[in-house]
Structure formats: C-alpha cells, structure tokens
Amino acid sequence: MRLGVLDVGSNTVHLLVVDAHPGARPLPAHSHKADLRLAQLLDPAGAIGPDGIDRLVAVIRDAMVAAEDKGVEEVLPFATSAVREASNADAVLARVKDETGVDLQVLTGEEEARLTFLAARRWFGWSAGKLLVLDIGGGSLEIAYGLDEEPDAAVSLPLGAGRLTAAWLPTDPPDPSDVKALRRHVRAQIARTVGEFSRFGAPDHIVATSKTFKQLARLAGAARSTEGLYVQRELKRKSLEDWVPQLAAMTTRERSELPGVSDGRAGQLLAGALVAEGAMDLFGAETLEICPWALREGVILRKLDHLPAS
C-alpha cells in the first residue's frame, strides 16, 4: 500500500510518501517539504499568530493535494513540539481540521523519542545490541536507550536547535558570551538526565538521527547524501569539538556556504552543534553513527505493525 506521513515539525512541514507493507522495508516514493519554522512564529505569549496559522493551513492543504496526486491511500498526520507547546494549540488544531480535514495527532516528547528509537532499532537490527539514540529537532532533543524495540528509557528536552537559536543567540555572528551561556545551559539540562540512562549500563552502539546530526557529520567528512542511504556515516566528538569554535565565529551566510549545510538550517547550526557536543561528551560518546531513519519512519513502522495480517 502507499502511505503518506505528514510531519508538522518546528522547522518544516514534510510529507513523506512510501510504498510499504508489513514485513518489508518502506520504500520512499515522494517527498514534499515546506520550510515553515513554526517555532519562530510564536508570539510573546507562546501562541502561533494568525499569520502563522494561515501559513500552516496553506502548507498542509498543499501537502494533501500532493498526497492525492501521488495516489496515497492513507495519510498519517502528526505534529511535534512547536504545536504541542503553543498556548493556542487547541485552536490551531481545530482550524487545521476545519479547513483541511486533517486531524493532526500531537505527539508527546516521549512518544517522539520512542518512535525514533523504533526506527533506529529496525535500521540497525538486533545485532547492534543496546542502543542509545539521539535526535535534535527544531524544538527539542530526544534521547532513548534500550535493547528491544521499546526503549527502557526515553526523554525529551527543550533543546531544539531552532528554539535555542531564537532564545539565546540573537546576533549574527553570535556574541561569544551568549555562546558560553548557551553551552552552560545545554550541558546543565542534559546532565540532569544522564543518571536515568547510566543505570542501564553502557550502550553497545550510539546513533543519531536528524538533519542537524547529518549536517555536522558531513562537515566532519562523512559521505554526501547523494552517495546513498547505505553508506556508513559517523561523527567523531573530536571533529565536532574542532568545528564548534569555527561555527561560533561565522555568520549565518558563511555557514550556509559550508558543505552539506542548507540556507534554511545555517542559522541554527551552531546551537545544534552545541547540543550534539554536549550530549556526546556527557554520554561518553567518542563516535556515533548516523541513522537514515528517524521519527517519520518510526510512525510508518508502527502503523504497519498494527495492520491486520493479509
């Protein structure tokens, strides 16, 4: 069957269309993406303003047209931290449903972490042993750990690259004192959770998902995306530590000219790098492997798991 997963995230609204059936690997068939940056459209009261809602409705309507054009049988729509934390989330969801017919399911942070973990487990398989999975989004950082398909521990922290950039790095290039303050904040937040995971013992394999980690790995010399999904890509902490001060000294425009860095993500790459560096350091990760699958694939896999046997 042809499924679509509609991901309303803090940075983008992304429709991923796949051909899938139970027991088989989902095959990507189409991708429709729009940069919306909902996390940056919140007003001082934490609400998504009228213009932001208008844009969200228009983007979702376009995505549903694309899904119909591609012959999608069912769309799985969900929203993450930007909608989840908006003070007017209920009104936003109601208007989206009224005007597009889409009933957005708002995932909790823990659900995000668990579904991302499922995707990583299916990608690496049982031979990977105990997995520690890290995912940096626009609004939050998800961390999950476990031996099975359901993690033993899963948390979500308000350490997304977009959120931190807006709140802590107002100038371009950033003020060094702001960078230091953000670094302290990130590490203090992550350190509070380390004990929850360390009681399960050391992981056998540490992996990371998300655009932020992919771009940081590319900067550190990993293969280009055009070389395919199955090329192993790693990020070493030493390489990341070398890059952080360089990114801190650059303007957004200068970062956008780096290999693998898109214009839309360049502004928040430094904040993402500080989160990645802090997580790798505090969890004792010298090297982590990039996982091509993440939350969207986790949503699809969970759906397939619950389909009746044919």
Q: pLDDT, tens digit, for every residue of 217-228?
A: 999 998 888 888
Band (298; pLDDT cuts 50, 70, 90): very high
pLDDT of residue 309: 59
Q: Would the pLDDT of 157 be above 70?
A: yes
- Average pLDDT taken over every residue of the chain: 94
Sign of the torsion formed by the C-alpha atoms of 3, 7, 13 and 14 = negative
Output 278 or 1, whichever has higher pLDDT. 278
Q: Would the pLDDT of 7 be above 80?
A: yes
Q: Cα angle at 130 between 297 and 271, to 5 degrees? A: 60
Q: What is the CATH number of domain 2-106?
A: 3.30.420.40
Give the span between the Cα atoms of 237 and 278, in whole angstroms. 10
Q: Would the pLDDT of 175 be above 90?
A: yes
Q: What is the CATH number of domain 109-295?
A: 3.30.420.150
What mean pLDDT comes out for the span 39-60?
89
Band (310; pLDDT cuts 50, 70, 90): low
Output 208 or 21, whichever has higher pLDDT. 208
Q: Are 78 and 8 in contact (CB under 8 A)?
A: yes
Band (233; pLDDT cuts 50, 70, 90): very high
What mean pLDDT comes out for the span 62-71?
97
Q: Would the pLDDT of 46 be above 60?
A: yes
Task: Supply the DSSP string of 25-92, one letter for each residue.
Answer: --EEEEEEEEE--GGGSB-TTSPBPHHHHHHHHHHHHHHHHHHHHTT-SEEEEEE-HHHHT-TTHHHH
Beta bridge partners of 293: none
Give the span between the Cα atoms of 189 and 138, in whole angstroms. 16
Portion of the chain with pLDDT greater than 90, in percent: 85
User: In the chain, which segments carry CATH 3.30.420.40?
Assistant: 2-106
